Structure formats: structure tokens, C-alpha cells
Amino acid sequence: MISLPGLNLASQPIEPLNVPTSTATRTQDLSANTEYRFEVSFSRTLTVKLQSGTAEFFGTELAPATTYTFQGTKGAIFTWHGCKLEIGGEVESDYVAEETPMMSCANLHFALENLRDKSVSSGSVEMGPRVLVVGPENSGKTSLIKTMTSYAVKSGRQPMVVNLDPRQGMLSVPGSFSAAAYSSIVDIEEGWGSSPISGPSPIPVKMPLVYHYGLKDPEEGKAFKPLVTRMALAVTSRLEEDNASKQAGFIIDSSGAISQGKNGVYENIEHIVSEFSVNVLITLGSERLYSDLARKFSNQVRDPSESVSVIRLEKSGGCVDRSEEYMKALRHAQIREYFFGKGDETLAPSSQMADFGDLNLFKLVQESDNAEYRPGDYDASSSPIYEKITPSAALQNKLLAITTASPNERQEVIRDSSIRGYIYVADVDEAKKKVKLLSPQPGQTPGNAMVLGSWPEDIPGLVS
């Protein structure tokens, strides 16, 4: 079932009152093939340390001597061999699950490994597996992809991960689409890890290619398909130059929205499959989605080498509906992390003033249902993509995407350009025509085209 954010009455309040404060730790024994599931709020922390045995968090193995700290996380620690965990801090809820989908995950991983071996033995002529994971919201897509990625890295591969879900960023903020190769371990505490920072990082940084989408749902915007196409071009081009990535292939994360379909038609899924030449399509949960897609792709008369394997994996019992409140907190945490870092690795963003005239702002034109069709439009949508705006108080608390495009470029070029990063509008002084910005980097505000979307929403109080 599709979860409705904010309507999830069964879920616990984000901030339970009267949480007993405890500094004591306890020991949790896990038998083989079970997992410890927990939910921890953004204002509390959970610590986990592996005392004996083996354990993994979405595929990444817990180091024996390290204490991991979780905050604002709903996750699970799984063991293939059994383990003893030392657990501290406070959780909203936790329990041990006997039934997990991990065997399926492992099977999938080893099946993908077969394809990667084939690519290797073809001398990188063949490309490794191109995987797309689809399913409703909260069906465990990202968790599965993390596990697949971790296993691939563990197997000595260098898989590429592509995030096309604007609700959650990967190595960037929500509202962005990104792609990165993972040659080193996937971080346990930081989600997908960190994009480059100017200093050393205790976990190797990942190098994402980032585009700005700026809307909540793929179905919402006409920029979705062109950006998918653009991303596919870039990823495919990269893989042609990079044998390690080509052999490992890639895994695409998607928004739950594209799995809803319209009358059994999944336009955006098909677009992604087609643009990325996806050959393994994983559906999570929904049987309807699986049968629709299996029929769709098995019916296609294709070259056998281009056939799409459609597979359904069970949704993990550990998948919990995440309330809109939680998702919002998660988004804000991601944005905060982008500027300020996380945990011990604090970053120092730069506060700067800019004149109105310094900013070349392009605002995404929101489409309305009574928009008219105009001949020549791509995907029956109407131009323009953006309207040029001058700064105003409405900009306050918003994120601006710094594109790599000049403001004089055509709008399609601006839309398709990857971005350098985001700046945050801390304050707007309309009288003085000045804007106070928070930039990740010191130095002058770039004169590139900046794009303002409606997603993520305002983030008040990022700079206090």
C-alpha cells in the first residue's frame, strides 16, 4: 500500500514525551539471520557497538572496534552469523525480527555479480547490470539499493548509484538528482556518505554528479524526463570511459510516485528503463506493480540481449511508514549537513552579502492543469521552463541551485546543466537590495544561472 505522509495515524509521535534518559548500555544478542530494528528520533541518539560476531547495516559491515551513533534514523542491523551488540542511548522503538528479506538481497547481489563477471570476461565490452528499483513510498527501495551497493563494493566492484527520487537526496540535498560511483565503503552513519569537502574526511568522499530538479514528484514537472535523459547520457558516457564502473553497472533509486502509474501505465518508469537501458527491474512490495511491469516488459519484442528481467522482492517487515513530519526533519537534516557537516566533521560555510543584481535567478514555472498544449513542446508540455525573477522577501529561507550554465543560455541548457552546489538565502533586504547568503564555500557568489524550485520547502532557521 502507498503510505500517505501525515496520515499515518498508527505511527508513533516523533518526539515522545517523557523519554527516560539513560546512559546505560545493554547487550543485545542476535541469532543468525535475524535483525535488530530500531527507530531513533532526530533529538536522541542510539549507539551500537559490535561486541562479537558479524553484523551489517544495509550491507555495510560494522567494524569490531567502532561505536556507531544513529540519529533520526529508522534502520536495521542484520547478522548472517549471529552477533552480540552493545546498545546505548534512546530509541523510539526497537525489536528483533526473525524474518528478513536478506536472503533475497543476497541472491540478487550474486545474480548481479554473475552479470558483472560476464562484463569482465567480455573485456568490458558488455556492460554490467543496469538495475532500476521501483515501488511505493516506504517500500524499502533505498535500503535495498544501499545493501546492493555495499555488497558490490565488498565484492571489489565499483557500482554507480543514481538517485532519481527528489524526496531524498543522495550525497546532496532533497530536490536534486545525483549519480556517483562507490569505490569505497558506504558510510554507516552518514547515509550515502559525503560529497567532497575541502579537508580530509574519515570516510572517503564520494563524487556525485548533481542536477537540480526542484520539485517534489517526478509526475509534477516537465523537467523530469529531460533530466533523466541527461543523467543517462552522462552516466553512460562515464561508464564508457571507466571500465571499473562499466563492469559493475549501476543501480537507480526512484521515487515512489512513479510507481503509482496512471491506468496501469508507468510512463516515467518506462522512460528511465529506456534511457538507461535498464535490464534488471526490481519491484518492491506491490504485486500489482510487478504484474503490470512484468507484462509490459515481457511483451515487448526485443533483442534477447536487451530483455528486461522484472523481479519482485518482498517488502521488508522493517519498512515503516515515515510520517511527513519525519520526512521533513530528514530533509532538513540533509540540508543542514550539506552546509554544516555532521557529527564531529563540522564544516564552515561562508556567509556573504550579494546585491540583487549579482543574482541571476530563474524560478521554475509551476505547471497548472489548465495549461495549454503548444506544438513542438517536448512531452506535450509547454515552455517556458523558468521565469527570470528579481530577489524579493519571498526568497528568504530558500535554497538556490548554482548551475554550471551562464544566465544567457537557453532555458533548456540551464535545466540540463549539472550544478555546482546550493546556496541558502538567509535574509533579504528589499530596501537596500541586498541578500544575505549562506554559501558552502568562501569567495564571490558565482554569476551562473541560479535555479529556484519549490522543493525542498523553505528551511527557516538554518542560520540563526
Partner 1 sequence: MSLPAAEVAADFRDALQDLRLNSRPEISNLTLIAKENTEYAEAISTELENHIRSTRPEWKLPALYVLDSIVKNVGTPYTVYIGRNLYRTFMDAYLVMAQDTRKAMEGLLRTWKMPVPESMDPRPVFPADVTRDIENALTKIRAAVQQQVQRPQHALPPRPPTNVAWRDTSTPPQNLPRYAAPNDPRARPSFPPTTPQYGPPLHTATPPMQYQQPQQQAQPMSSIDLADLKSEVTQLISTTQTMFAHNHADLALRTKLQALLSLKQILDTQTLPPQQLEAVRQQIRALAPPPAPSTPVYPPQHTLPTHFQPNLPSNFPPVTAPPNSAPPNVAQLLAGFRPPMQQTPQPASTPNPPAFNLVDLLKRVSSPAQSSSIPAPAPFQLPFQGFPPPNSTPMPIPQAAAPAPSSTPTASLATLLAQFNKPAGAPPMSQPMPMQSTPVPQFPPQPNTAPPTLGSAEWLLKALGSVPGATPAISTPIASQQMARQSSAPFNVMDQIELTTVSMKKPRLHLISRLYEAKPNICATCGRRFESTSEGKEKKARHMDWHFKVKDPDAAKRGVHRSWYMPEKEWIEYKEVDETSPNHTSNDSNNSTSSGAKPKKQAKDRYVSVPQDVALQQAPCPICQEKFDTVWSVEANDFVWMDALSVGGKVYHATCFEEYSKGAGIAMPGTPDSVLGKRRAEDAASVNGEGKKVRAF
Residue numbering of the annotated binding site for ATP? 35, 74, 138-143
Stretch that binds partner 1, among 91-99, 192-200, 427-435, 452-460 (CB under 8 A): 192-200
What is the side-by-side order of every strand in the sheet holding 67-70? Answer: 25-30, 83-89, 46-53, 67-70
Q: Are 5 and 327 in contact (CB under 8 A)?
A: yes
Stretch that binds partner 1, among 138-146, 292-300, 323-331, 353-361 (CB under 8 A): 292-300
Candidates 76, 181, 251, 462; binder of partner 1 (CB under 8 A) is: 181
Strand ranges for 202-357 from DSSP E? 209-212, 250-254, 280-284, 309-313, 341-342, 345-346, 350-355
Facing residues of 122 across strands? none
Q: Pick out residues in 224-263 that bind partner 1 (CB under 8 A).
A: 226, 229-230, 232-234, 236-248, 262
Q: Are 207 and 191 in contact (CB under 8 A)?
A: no
Residue 285 contacts partner 1 per CB under 8 A: no
Candidates 260, 381, 396, 397; binder of partner 1 (CB under 8 A) is: 381
Residue 288 contacts partner 1 per CB under 8 A: no
Candidates 60, 100, 149, 323; binder of partner 1 (CB under 8 A) is: 60
Tell me the closest approach of the beta carbon of residue 336 to partner 1, in angstroms: 12
Q: Pick out residues in 314-373 that bind partner 1 (CB under 8 A).
A: 338-339, 341, 345-350, 369-373
Residue 389 contacts partner 1 per CB under 8 A: no
Q: How many residues bind partner 1 (CB under 8 A)?
A: 139
Tell me the closest approach of the beta carbon of residue 347 to partner 1, in angstroms: 5
Residue nearer to partner 1 on the CB measure, 61 or 325: 61
Q: Are 244 and 158 in contact (CB under 8 A)?
A: yes
Residue nearer to partner 1 on the CB measure, 255 or 448: 448
Q: Are 185 and 153 in contact (CB under 8 A)?
A: yes
Q: Pick out residues in 64-93 that bind partner 1 (CB under 8 A).
A: 64-66, 80-81
Secondary element (H or E) of residue 269? helix 267-276
Residue 279 contacts partner 1 per CB under 8 A: yes
Q: Pick out residues in 5-34 that bind partner 1 (CB under 8 A).
A: none
Residue 457 contacts partner 1 per CB under 8 A: no
Q: Are 290 and 69 in contact (CB under 8 A)?
A: no
Q: Are 208 and 231 in contact (CB under 8 A)?
A: no
Facing residues of 211 across strands? 177
Q: How far apart are the first and last CA of the chain?
A: 40
Binding letters toward partner 1, positions 109-148, x by CB under 8 A? -xx-xx--x--xxxxxxxx--x------------------
In 3-state terms, what secondary structure has residue 248? helix
* Known binding-site residue numbers: 35, 74, 138-143
Facing residues of 73 across strands? 40
Residue 280 contacts partner 1 per CB under 8 A: yes
Tell me the closest approach of the beta carbon of residue 10 to partner 1, in angstroms: 28
Facing residues of 30 across strands? 83
Stretch that binds partner 1, among 83-91, 153-161, 357-365, 456-464 (CB under 8 A): 153-161
Residue 442 contacts partner 1 per CB under 8 A: yes
Tell me the closest approach of the beta carbon of residue 136 to partner 1, in angstroms: 17
Tell me the closest approach of the beta carbon of residue 201 to partner 1, in angstroms: 6
Residue 300 contacts partner 1 per CB under 8 A: yes
Stretch that binds partner 1, among 36-44, 92-100, 289-297, 357-365 (CB under 8 A): 289-297
Residue 296 contacts partner 1 per CB under 8 A: yes
- DSSP track, 391-441: --GGGTT-EEEEESS-TTS-HHHHHHS-EEEEEEEEEEETTTTEEEEEESS
CA nearest to 293, candidates 306, 281, 276: 281
What is d(CA 364, CA 216) in angstroms, rounded to the nearest whole number? 12
Query: What torsion do the CA atoms of 269, 235, 150, 218 make, to the nearest 10 degrees?
Result: -30
